[in-house]
Every structure is written in structure tokens, then in C-alpha cells.
Amino acid sequence: MQRFTHDHTEEDILHDLMAEINELYEACEQTLIELEIKPEDNELQRALFRQLHTIKGDLGLVGFAPLLPLMQHVEDLLDMLRKGHIAYTSNMSDVVLQSMDKVKQFVKTCIQDGHTQYDNVQLDQVISHIKEVQPHRDAENEMILAAAANVLMGQVPSKPKSIDTLNQASLTKSGIPKDLAPHLKADMLFFRDLMHPIEKRVLALHGRGDKIAQLAHLINIQAGQPIAPEQLSVACFMHDVGMAFMPPALVNQAQLSHQEQQLMKSHVYKSARFLEHMDAWNDARKIIMQHHERCDGSGYPMGLVETDICDGAKLLGILDTYYDLHHAALGTANAKDAQKRALVAINKLYAGLFCPIWLGHVNQTLARVLSMQE
């Protein structure tokens, strides 16, 4: 291990750097999700290149030299991608995100302690793998990038690389099932595109639909897939569309009057009505209508009890609340600790409200996800 000490760069500059890296990381993550759906989209490929190039430039400006060679070679990789010399793959996505994770942790530790340690042998191994990537050798490149991703995570090849390896054969990073009939896929892409401006309007929801959809599918697989995957995806994408018709100030307000609460609850009907005349998505519509119902009958809009709530709504209800808790915890914790806090809270504070069977599947899956982040 090597030790790096920064040269007393002003604290404000370092905090600005961390904020920009966090923002660019989220942008890269969203771009990679889009590339899973449209891997040949050159606009997305160029956007990813620019995002990573900006991070590399920022590191150079503050003199954080140890990670510059890695970022340069990842940038070279993305340059080959945008020029059409190599194909986008999930393993490439893992290399990009894990490299950025290294950057985030490096900068964060420097800000906290004034110094950090890094594994120069590991970084050299990753760079060596990336150098082996050659134009128009897709099969070989896929193996090389898989090896690079494993080195970045300190894992042997037989260990799952990430959450995505639990279901990457059947699911994209956005939570869209693969191998759908063309008309169903067209619907699903439309629903997902519709979700994005809603998330932008309601800032707390940005990127939420994709994350909920992906995690919902992992849990559904853990449970033996009792919920139709395509119906689950559509429900995840569409369940908060009705929020677009709520006053933005009201959506993000902590305390609501009784009248305001009733108005907010109406988003369930508004969301479900988008699918009202689309018979292919009747099950998704049912999930949306019921995802705020609770097992003890205290939910809305109909006050259903556990036996009357469909499986998809039981699962989506848990995840919808989990991500609310996770978002709240991010104010005082890092991403992983926020996940842990949200998981503890969902079990402690909501006992009796959520289906214990589905809560068990959520616990098992999230425990596995969190263990991969160790």
C-alpha cells in the first residue's frame, strides 16, 4: 500500500471537488443505465466520456495524482467506445463505476484525514488489463473487462461482481426484463421515459424508479419469481407518475394538513389511470393501486388487509418506503450506512404493516447486496 498526503489544498476546494464528483458519479450511473437499453447510442457514449474526463481533470487540478493513470486509461477505453471501435457491455459499466468508487473513497478520505492509502499494485493490474482491450475483438474484450472489474473489487473471478450478476442474464441495469416481445418493450420504454420528467419535477425521486425496479426484480428472483417481471417493471416505473399533478412544494413538505394528505393520497388513482385502457398492463395497474395498502388495513386508498393485497403491491410498498428512509438517512450517512439504517428501520418501525414473507425476501436480498459492497 502507498500513502498519499495532499498539499494542504484549501478545504473549500476539496469539498467542492467532492460535491462535483458525487454529482458526476450519479450522472455517469444514469448514463450507464441508459446505455444498457441503448448500447449503440453515440450521444450517450460521448456523454459518458465527457463525465469521466471532467472528473479526471478535477483530480489533476488539485494534484491528486495517484488515480490519474487509472482514470486516463478508463477515459481511453471510453474513447474507443465513442469512436465505435469497441462495444458497450455490462463489464465495461462495472469498470467505470468501480473506478469512480475508488476516486470517491480516495477524495473522501483525504478530506477527512488529510491523507489516504491506495493499492498501487491493484491499480497497475487494472491498467494492465485495460491496455489489453483492442478494437473489434468483442469476445476477448469482454473477458478482459470482467477480469479488470474483479481486480478493482478485490474479488476472484468466481465471486459475483456486483448486484447485476444476480440477474444480468435476464435484466438490464434499469430493471427492464430482456427478451420482451417488441410491443411490450416499446410500452415499457415509453413508461420509463415518462417517469424521468416526473423525477426531475420531484427532486427527491431522481433516479428512484430505476433503482426500485432493479431491486424489486432481485427480490422477486429471490422469492422464486411469483410476480410477472414485465408487470413489476411497469408498476415500478409508473407508481409515482401521479406525483406530477401535485404541487412541488407539497410533495417535499414534511408536515401536511389533513386536506393536503388527502390530496397527496390521490396520486395513486392518478398513476393507475394512465394504464386504465391498456389491458396488457392490468396487473401492473393493480400493483400501483394497492402499493400503499398495509397488511393491518391501515393503508389507502381502500384499506385492504394482507390477504387482499397482491404480491407485487406488497413488494413495491416495502421498497417505496425503504427508499424514502434511505433518502432521509443520506443526510447524515454515506450510501452504504444509509442502506443499513433504512433496512433496520423498515423492520423495526413498520412491524405489522408489511407482509412478513416479502419482508423476509427483502432482508435476504439486501443482506446479499450489502455483503457485496464490503
Owning domain of residue 240 = 182-372
Q: How many CA atoms lie within 13 A of 319 on its CB side?
A: 33
In the predicted model, what is the mean pLDDT of residues 334-354? Answer: 86
Distance CA(225)–CA(163), nearest Å, equals: 17
Judge whether 231 lies within some domain. yes
Give residue 303's pLDDT.
Answer: 95
Judge whether 164 lies within some domain. no
Judge whether 80 lies within some domain. yes
Judge whether 129 lies within some domain. yes
Distance CA(20)–CA(75), nearest Å, equals: 18
Contact 154, 122 (CB under 8 A): yes
CATH code of the domain containing 105: 1.20.120.160
Judge whether 170 lies within some domain. no
Contact 192, 219 (CB under 8 A): no
199 and 152 housed in the same domain? no
Contact 271, 288 (CB under 8 A): yes
Amino acid at 8: H
Angle at the Cα of 319 (from 263 to 369), degrees rounded to 5? 160
293 and 144 housed in the same domain? no
Residue 262 burial (CB < 10 Å; 0-12/13-18/19+)? exposed
10 and 142 housed in the same domain? yes
273 and 358 housed in the same domain? yes
pLDDT tens-digit map of 192-246: 888 888 887 775 667 788 889 989 998 998 898 999 999 999 999 999 998 888 8
Judge whether 363 lies within some domain. yes
CB-based contacts of 326, cutoff 8 Å, min separation 6: 338, 339, 341, 342
213 and 339 housed in the same domain? yes
Confidence of residue 8 (pLDDT cuts 50, 70, 90): low
261 and 345 housed in the same domain? yes
pLDDT over 80 (residue 43): yes
pLDDT tens-digit map of 149-200: 888 877 544 333 444 444 544 556 667 777 788 888 889 889 988 888 888 7
Running DSSP on this structure, what letter comes out for residue 118? E
In the chain, the number of structural domains is: 2
Distance CA(330)–CA(310), nearest Å, equals: 31
30 and 152 housed in the same domain? yes
CATH code of the domain containing 231: 1.10.3210.10
126 and 217 housed in the same domain? no
Judge whether 230 lies within some domain. yes
Judge whether 140 lies within some domain. yes
pLDDT tens-digit map of 116-140: 888 899 999 999 999 999 998 888 8
122 and 235 housed in the same domain? no
CB-based contacts of 273, cutoff 8 Å, min separation 6: none
Percent of the chain with pLDDT over 70: 91
86 and 212 housed in the same domain? no
Strand partners, 118: 2
126 and 190 housed in the same domain? no
**pTM score over 0.75:** no
Confidence of residue 372 (pLDDT cuts 50, 70, 90): low
13 and 96 housed in the same domain? yes
Give residue 125's pLDDT.
Answer: 92
In 88-174, at which residue ranges do the beta strands (DSSP E only) sit?
Answer: 115-118
Among 158, 174, 197, where does a domain finish? 158
